[in-house]
Amino acid sequence: MKQLVATKVHKGPHHALRYENPEIVGRIARESNLTLLEAQKIFTNTLRFLVLCGTWKGALAPTASIDIGWHTFLLFTREYREYCQAEFGRFIDHVPTPKLIRPNGRSLKRRVTNTLAGAKALFEQEVTTAWGTEFGPIADSADCSPSTNCQSSCCHDGNPG
């Protein structure tokens, strides 16, 4: 059912990116009305983000599509727990920003900047560019305004930042 596939990483292959689960990809596709290829891209980016969570210091922010992939992976609790334990030696918590507490612009900007710095250090430039594009104005601005729809990407894994 699960098979390993090689994924290119800028500074050498990371075993955690080889994980594959067609059931998760299929669920992302069904629930988000996407093709399997689009859903696979989301799941691949979710794995990349989890590598950041497991190896990079500081608070991070997933893109909106990575958050969809992460939520779906979490629904497969046993697989997610086993994946985290095998690849990082610990469970990577998903800690959403409470809807009643809107993060200030600098806090979100710091998480997005840290996420993009990690992507740049660990992955190919195309990954960093794609994530930066998905983050939109917050990746390029010093402040977060309501028009940037920050709540769509304000989750983190609980790393101190």
Mean per-residue pLDDT over the chain, rounded: 80
pLDDT of residue 17: 92
What is the pLDDT, as a whole number, of residue 105? Answer: 67
According to the model, what pLDDT value does residue 35 have?
98
Tell which wins on pLDDT, 33 or 152.
Answer: 33
DSSP string, the chain: ---------TTS--GGGG---HHHHHHHHHHHT--HHHHHHHHHHHHHHHHHHHHS-S-----HHHHHHHHHHHHSHHHHHHHHHHHHSS----EEPPTTSPPPHHHHHHHHHHHHHHHHHHS-HHHHHHHHHHHTHHHH-SS--GGG-GGGG-EE-----
Find all residues with CB under 8 Å of 30, minimum gap 6, and list them: none
In terms of average pLDDT, the best of 12-16, 77-81, 93-97 is 77-81
Structure confidence at residue 153 as a pLDDT band (50, 70, 90)? very low
Domain boundary assignment for the chain: 15-156
pLDDT of 95 above 90: no
Residue 15 clears pLDDT 80, i.e. is over it: yes
CB 38 within 8 A of CB 29: yes
Distances (CA, A) of 99 to 43, 62, 120, 152, 153: 25, 16, 30, 11, 12
Whether 51 and 14 have beta carbons less than 8 Å apart is answered as yes
pLDDT over 50 at 19, yes or no: yes
Query: Under a CB-based contact definition with an 8 Å cutoff, are residues 153 and 67 in contact?
Result: yes
Is the predicted pLDDT of residue 148 greater than 80, yes or no? no
pTM: 0.78
